[in-house]
């Protein structure tokens, strides 16, 4: 994982505050100094890697969230 992907994933997964889910892609982009499209790409890549790791641990793909 790249540093920005790791940072983004960390903010999504480890945050205890429900308000994190309320950030728009643009707000996240502004915080990270990226474009909205780049944040969307990082989000998609991070979620895909997360799904792959869960699948490798034996979780059924049908039970994983679809985004």
pLDDT one-digit tens code per residue, 27-67: 888 888 889 999 889 888 888 888 888 888 888 767 665 54
Measure the CA–CA gap between 24 and 4, rounded to whole angstroms: 17
Domains in the chain: boundaries? 3-63
Tell me which of 10 and 20 has the higher pLDDT.
10
Long-range pairs for 42-51: beta carbons < 8 A, 24 or more residues apart? 42/4, 42/5, 42/8, 43/8, 43/12, 45/5, 46/1, 46/5, 46/8, 46/9, 46/12, 49/1, 49/5, 49/9, 50/9, 50/13
The position carrying tokens 């994982």 is 1
């Amino acid at each position: 994982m790249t540093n920005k992907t790791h940072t983004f994933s960390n903010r999504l997964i480890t945050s205890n505050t429900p308000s994190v889910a309320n950030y728009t892609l643009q707000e996240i982009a502004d915080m990270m100094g990226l474009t909205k499209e780049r944040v969307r790409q990082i989000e998609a890549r991070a979620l895909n890697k997360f799904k792959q790791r869960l699948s490798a641990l034996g979780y059924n793909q049908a039970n994983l969230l679809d985004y």
